[in-house]
Structure 1
Amino acid sequence: MQAGDEIQFNAHHIIGVIWEDPNQKARFETDFVSWFARCYVDAEVLEGTATAQYLYREMPEHDSEDEHPDTGWRLRVDVAQLTDEQYENPPADYLAISTALNRDDSYIDLLGAPVGSAFFG
């Protein structure tokens, strides 16, 4: 590879962008602006003891002025995968959506869906 070589990639390969030109930033901003933006994920998904089966997007809970604001995405496990103890006390982590995607990226194409969207699978 040499300077000036063309490289092909998809949007999901981009972790973040620093824009020098605010007009370009405005042109390319979307509802889903950063892989560092936050979501809630059941701890079992991150631990690998269960998979995300129910994904839904609600109005973000945190201040939009946060450096990495809440996306509104919630990644939940199928309750059939939980023990009684996990079901009664479900821990969820608030973290970068890219962290959840590192565990399972099968739902990456759904992340552009609007608030109010829900998926089960």
Structure 2
Amino acid sequence: MPSAARVAAISERDLVKAVIAARPRSEKFDAERMWIRVTHTTAEWLEGTLASTPLDMPLLAHGSRIKLPRTHVIDVIFDESNADLEPREPPPREYWDRCMVDQCVLDGELTVGYLYRETPNMGKPDDKFPDSGWRIRGDMRGATRETLDCRKHAYIALGKVLNNDDSWIHLIDEPYGASFEKNYTTGMFERISE
């Protein structure tokens, strides 16, 4: 998905992609992803002509007029004439640093319920990706010390954990020594004070 800055920078002549629902409902598809050449913009809306040819929407054709809210844009290609308006953004962050995590979180059996960050100690000097210090446990409600100790664990990339449960990504840059437990009533992670 394009960032908010990229969506805000869309102007005339740019190409945007959106999911367009079939009206009336088509035989094959409920919706299609299609490109629209923008001809007019407002702060919240885009207007343009359909640059794609629908596969199964008899009432919509290449060149049809389309109006859509900016929030519906799923991709954007800036026109060469608008290149100076395209926001310069840092490359997307990658999450290759390692962490220790309960296998039940990786398997999708449990969501992240408790996590803490300690001074990294798992890595070796020649490791390509360092230890992040994050230690991630699955939901611990009702678990005994014995069942917790029996859980299998893995030392893997943070990205693999985030692929299964990213509910804690806003905590990823917390300092060493931080720890959090999920409040299952609010769904929020609460800092545990020492």
- Where do 5+ consecutive residues of structure 2 fail to align? 1-76, 183-194
Quick one: percent identity of the two aligned structures? 37
1:80 equivalenced with 2:159 (yes/no): no
Instruction: Please list the CA deviations of residues 51-105 of structure 1 after superposition, one character each: whole Å capped at 9, or x if unmatched.
Output: 1110100111123542101000011013336599853411111000001000011
**RMSD (CA atoms):** 2.8
Larger relative contact order, structure 1 or 2 (CA cutoff 8 Å, min sep 6): 1
Provide the secondary structure at the position in 2 that maps to 1:93. strand
- TM-score, normalisation: structure 1: 0.69
Mapping for residues 24-103 of structure 1, pairs under 5 Å? 35-61=95-121, 62-80=123-141, 86-103=147-164
How many residues align structurally? 101
Task: Output the amino acid matched with 2:133.
Answer: G
Please, which of 163, 166, 171 is the counterpart of residue 105 of structure 1? 166
Structure (1 or 2) with the larger CA radius of gyration: 2
Q: Distance in 2 between matches of 1:43 and 1:58?
A: 19
TM-score (norm 2): 0.45
Unaligned runs of 5+ in 1: 16-34
In structure 2, distance between residues paired with 1:7 and 1:14: 17
Which residue pairs with 1:6 in the alignment? 86
Q: Which amino acid aligns with 1:87?
A: L
Which structure has more strand as a fraction of its residues?
2
Deviations 1:18-58 (A, max 9, x none): xxxxxxxxxxxxxxxxx100001100001111111101001
Separation in structure 2 between the aligned mates of residue 48 and residue 7 of structure 1, nearest angstrom: 37
